[in-house]
């Protein structure tokens, strides 16, 4: 078969997937071998055969074993994550812990037990979509653009790439789903005119509520430029959560009215779940639906339950409220009001739920929601457009796509640890990608020959409150006084959202690179929670940083004073003995009192006052050193007028200095003056 010189676009969904191609100046959504424009993301291992799509979905609805789905909810995750443990309770297939806490799916096939990784299941779906595209186009397909949720982390993106490679596809680009949907809308590739021909910039909100993930993005569209202004979401919230709530209601009804416990019957559970999904779909256009199941009651009687749309809305009120919270967060991050949103684009099958549409209309003051894009196809269409753009030369570009530029963003700030655990941001959240930023650092010890570069993501000023992405050692740096070597750290985020970190020291000509593509990257709703927690703890964080800075300053000052005192000849004069006492009290205050302060202003005032006394004491020691031992002894009987650390200066180390210590008697250990790793970075 001749090779297709173009590229297909694939929306690899949790519950349904879709594939499209842009050719002859138009997008075509490719049907599967059943004639359907979307394909269930299901794989069935049955009687030696592997079935994908509609046939596998039909088996699942009948409660047949060996059907696997929800691979997107597992891909790139750890087995120990709470979300996996929650989902295991409703999955009719077996999931177990793999190597490095990975997730493995156990199935029986051809008389043997297979343990498959989630990307192997996704690969089966992708291979099927690839085959459908080849049959439709009539040529062999090798390249694709694949979409993922905006909040997918590096591990999930890389595992999606791996699934494509297994399926025989080269991934030219990973595109965020809301961005792809906006591209479909903006170019007028739905049933409406779109925004491309608008006379002024347009702000659109993409509400992408799919089967297993939820994203909201604010995107500015201006003459072919698609700039993501903000993104928010939850990679473990979707229409399946609505199905689960309905299932829970049905299970309780079965047990309470008929004494039937279906939770211990996997086949029955699968049938009920499929019926609940069907009821959800019906209730999007009808006000009531009756769930009827034959032969599941004692004696083979029929089970029937009438379900209203109002009941669904009651059961799922918390889910819908979570969706609206994410919408508000996205608008806040983009610094826009509901009045400044020109259009609301609904994407994903579950965006059809009437209650969600009513809530959105209320939030946007009765504004009509966009109906020009197909909720199930918009993402695949946008992916196909982007596929055409990046695989076609400028001379051959369609007029529709010639001026299109996509600009996505990073969901969380990323940076390195410096100065005893502080988080130094290199690329801020919602920065447009691709993006590259560089900062310079140095060593914290004399003759230090290596540094550890620790990389984090999050929104709080201390790394212990953020999430570690990875670390590496830059060794072989020039031996020099601390602070002299220049260590250059560069962060680069590519168009797929993959982060690469490079650290180098020019004088010694050493360089190390780390590509963050492991499962250390944050998973699911932790991203959103970190942002919210950062806002709640901003005041406490400011105090913690202030205390850390004060500790560094005072430790350096006390060390310098201690060194100067050690150089003085013995016996020490009374004046110098008072300096020793001041130093002793200062260290005690630093360790026991400073950590208890609760106001940044009080910390700054007290630190400044003590540092002035330290500097005055150092000047006194310099004068005493010049006088020599004889004059130093003679000063015992002299005046203490020049001594700036007299008895009254003890007041500088007492009390709270205007703040309210958390516990003035607590002998808490102060933060260390050096980084936790003595060979870390100094800012």
Q: Which residue has the higher pLDDT, 625 or 501?
A: 501
Give yes or no: 177 in active site: yes
Residue 187 contacts residue 25 (beta carbons within 8 Å)? no
The total of structural domains in the chain comes to 4
Classify residue 62: in a domain, yes or no. Answer: yes
Strand blocks (E) in 69-211: 94-97, 103-109, 112-116, 143-148, 170-176, 202-209
Q: Which domain holds residue 624?
A: 537-653
Given 57, 70, 72, 243, which residue is catalytic?
Answer: 72
- Choosing from 488, 508, 527, the residue where a domain stops is 527
Mean pLDDT (the chain, rounded): 83
Classify residue 671: in a domain, yes or no. Answer: no
Structure tokens at 74: 């597992």
The model's pLDDT over 295-306, given as tens digits with 9 standing for 90+, comes to 888 778 899 999
Give yes or no: 424 in active site: no
Sorted by sequence, the CB contacts under 8 Å of residue 214 that are 6+ apart come out as 149, 208, 233, 234, 235, 237, 238, 323, 326, 348
Residue 395 to residue 402: CA distance in whole angstroms: 9
DSSP assignment string, 342-363: -EEEEESGGGG-HHHHHHHHHH
Given 208, 215, 241, 517, which residue is catalytic?
Answer: 208
269 pLDDT higher than 80: yes
Give yes or no: 208 in active site: yes
In this prediction, residues 9-38 reach a mean pLDDT of 95
> Is residue 130 located within the same domain as residue 270?
no
In the prediction, which pLDDT does 346 show?
Answer: 94
* Sign, CA torsion 190/196/200/204: positive
> Is residue 188 located within the same domain as residue 300?
no
Give yes or no: 340 in active site: no
In the prediction, which pLDDT does 398 show?
Answer: 72
Structure tokens at 301: 């009687």
In the prediction, which pLDDT does 514 show?
Answer: 74
- For the ranges 13-22, 450-459, 601-610, 621-630, the maximum mean pLDDT occurs at 13-22
In the prediction, which pLDDT does 199 show?
Answer: 60
Classify residue 186: in a domain, yes or no. Answer: yes
> Is residue 84 located within the same domain as residue 160?
yes
Q: Residue 468: which of 409, 530, 525, 534 has the closest Cα?
A: 530
In this prediction, residues 68-80 reach a mean pLDDT of 93
Classify residue 2: in a domain, yes or no. Answer: no
The model's pLDDT over 613-637, given as tens digits with 9 standing for 90+, comes to 888 888 888 777 776 655 544 444 4
> Is residue 431 located within the same domain as residue 518?
yes
The model's pLDDT over 390-443, given as tens digits with 9 standing for 90+, comes to 887 666 777 777 778 778 888 788 999 987 789 999 999 888 888 999 999 998
Given 11, 333, 417, 649, which residue is catalytic?
Answer: 11
- Choosing from 457, 492, 527, the residue where a domain stops is 527
Residue 507 to residue 509: CA distance in whole angstroms: 5
520 pLDDT higher than 70: no
> Is residue 282 located within the same domain as residue 401?
no
> Is residue 227 located within the same domain as residue 96?
yes
Sorted by sequence, the CB contacts under 8 Å of residue 648 that are 6+ apart come out as none
> Is residue 191 located within the same domain as residue 269?
no
Given 177, 377, 420, 524, which residue is catalytic?
Answer: 177
Q: What is the dihedral of CA 140, 144, 148, 150, to 10 degrees?
A: -160
In the prediction, which pLDDT does 647 show?
Answer: 45
In the prediction, which pLDDT does 585 show?
Answer: 86
In the prediction, which pLDDT does 516 show?
Answer: 65
Classify residue 262: in a domain, yes or no. Answer: yes
In the prediction, which pLDDT does 674 show?
Answer: 36
Classify residue 212: in a domain, yes or no. Answer: yes
308 pLDDT higher than 90: yes
Q: Residue 545: which of 607, 611, 468, 600 has the closest Cα?
A: 600
Classify residue 662: in a domain, yes or no. Answer: no
225 burial level (CB within 10 Å; 0-12, 13-18, 19+)? middle
> Is residue 293 located within the same domain as residue 361?
no
3-state SS, residue 525: coil
- Choosing from 301, 318, 335, the residue where a domain stops is 318
648 pLDDT higher than 90: no
Residue 589 to residue 624: CA distance in whole angstroms: 26
In the prediction, which pLDDT does 635 show?
Answer: 45
> Is residue 504 located within the same domain as residue 542?
no
In the prediction, which pLDDT does 194 show?
Answer: 52
Over pLDDT 70: what percentage of the chain? 85
> Is residue 212 located within the same domain as residue 327?
yes
In this prediction, residues 339-356 reach a mean pLDDT of 94
List the CATH number of the domain containing 492: 2.60.34.10
List the CATH number of the domain containing 325: 3.30.420.40
Across 357-366, 367-376, 515-524, least confident range = 515-524
Q: What is the dihedral of CA 573, 579, 580, 583, to 10 degrees?
A: 180
The model's pLDDT over 310-322, given as tens digits with 9 standing for 90+, comes to 999 999 999 999 9
* Sign, CA torsion 526/527/531/534: positive
In the prediction, which pLDDT does 207 show?
Answer: 95
Classify residue 665: in a domain, yes or no. Answer: no
> Is residue 158 located within the same domain as residue 279?
no
In the prediction, which pLDDT does 255 show?
Answer: 93
Q: Which residue has the higher pLDDT, 7 or 467?
A: 7
> Is residue 18 located within the same domain as residue 138?
yes
Q: How do 487-493 and 499-505 pair as beta strands? A: antiparallel
In the prediction, which pLDDT does 663 show?
Answer: 37
């Amino acid at each position: 078969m001749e090779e297709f010189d173009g590229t297909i676009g694939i929306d690899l969904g949790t519950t349904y997937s879709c594939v499209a191609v842009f050719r002859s100046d138009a997008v075509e959504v490719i049907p599967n071998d059943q004639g359907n424009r979307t394909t269930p993301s299901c794989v069935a291992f049955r009687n030696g055969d592997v079935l994908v799509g509609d046939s596998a979905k039909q088996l699942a609805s009948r409660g047949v074993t060996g059907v696997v789905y929800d691979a997107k909810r597992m891909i790139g995750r750890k087995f120990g994550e709470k979300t996996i443990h929650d989902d295991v309770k409703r999955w009719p297939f077996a999931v177990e812990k793999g190597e490095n806490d990975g997730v493995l799916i156990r199935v029986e096939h051809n008389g043997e037990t297979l343990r498959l990784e989630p990307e192997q299941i996704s690969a089966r779906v992708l291979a099927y979509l690839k085959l459908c595209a080849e049959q439709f186009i009539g040529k062999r397909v090798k390249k694709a653009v694949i979409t993922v949720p905006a909040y997918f982390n590096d591990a999930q993106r890389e595992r999606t790439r791996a699934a494509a490679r297994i399926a025989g596809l080269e991934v030219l680009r990973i595109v965020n789903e809301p961005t792809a949907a906006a591209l479909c809308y903006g170019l007028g590739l739905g049933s409406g005119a779109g925004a491309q021909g608008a006379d002024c910039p347009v702000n659109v909100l993409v509400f992408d509520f799919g089967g297993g993930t939820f994203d909201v993005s604010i995107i500015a569209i201006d003459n072919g430029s698609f700039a993501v202004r903000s993104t928010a979401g939850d990679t473990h919230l979707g229409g399946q959560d609505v199905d689960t709530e309905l299932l829970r209601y049905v299970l309780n009804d079965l047990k309470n009215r008929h004494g039937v416990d279906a939770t211990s019957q996997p086949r029955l559970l699968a049938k009920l779940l499929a019926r609940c999904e069907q009821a959800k779909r019906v209730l999007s256009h009808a006000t009531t639906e009756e769930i009827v199941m034959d032969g599941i009651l004692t004696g083979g009687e029929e089970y029937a339950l009438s379900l209203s749309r109002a009941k669904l809305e009651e059961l799922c009120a918390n889910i819908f409220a979570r969706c609206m919270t994410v919408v508000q967060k996205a608008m806040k991050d983009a610094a826009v009001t509901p009045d400044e949103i020109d259009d609301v684009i609904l994407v994903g099958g579950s965006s059809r739920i009437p209650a969600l549409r009513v809530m959105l209309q209320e939030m946007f003051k009765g504004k009509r929601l966009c109906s020009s894009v197909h909720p199930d196809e918009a993402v695949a269409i946008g992916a196909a457009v982007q596929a055409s753009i990046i695989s076609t030369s400028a001379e051959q570009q369609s007029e529709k796509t010639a001026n299109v530029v996509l600009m996505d963003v990073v969901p969380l700030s990323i940076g390195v640890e410096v100065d005893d655990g502080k988080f130094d941001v290199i690329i801020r959240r919602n920065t447009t990608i691709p993006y590259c930023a560089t900062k310079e650092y140095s060593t914290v010890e004399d003759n230090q020959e290596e540094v550890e570069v620790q990389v984090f993501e999050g929104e709080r000023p201390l790394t212990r409150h953020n999430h570690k992405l990875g670390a590496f050692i830059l060794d072989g740096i020039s031996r020099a006084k601390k602070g002299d070597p220049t260590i250059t750290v560069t962060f680069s985020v590519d168009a797929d959202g993959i982060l690469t970190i490079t650290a180098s020291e020019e004088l010694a000509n050493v360089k190390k690179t780390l590509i963050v593509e492991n499962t250390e990257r944050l998973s699911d709703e932790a991203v959103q929670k970190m942002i919210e927690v950062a806002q709640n703890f901003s005041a406490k964080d400011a105090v913690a940083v202030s205390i850390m800075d004060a500790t560094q300053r005072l430790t350096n000052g006390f060390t310098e004073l201690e060194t100067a005192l050690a150089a003085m000849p013995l016996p020490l004069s009374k004046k110098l003995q008072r300096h020793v006492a001041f130093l002793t009290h200062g260290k005690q205050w630093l360790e026991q009192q400073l950590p208890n302060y609760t106001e940044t202003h009080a910390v700054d005032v007290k630190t400044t006052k003590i540092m002035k006394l330290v500097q005055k004491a150092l000047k006194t020691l310099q004068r005493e050193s010049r006088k020599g031992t004889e004059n130093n002894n003679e000063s015992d009987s002299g005046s203490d007028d020049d001594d700036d650390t007299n008895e009254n200066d003890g007041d500088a180390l007492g009390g709270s200095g205007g703040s309210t210590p958390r516990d003035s008697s607590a002998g808490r250990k102060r933060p260390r003056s050096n980084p936790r790793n003595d060979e870390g970075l100094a800012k």
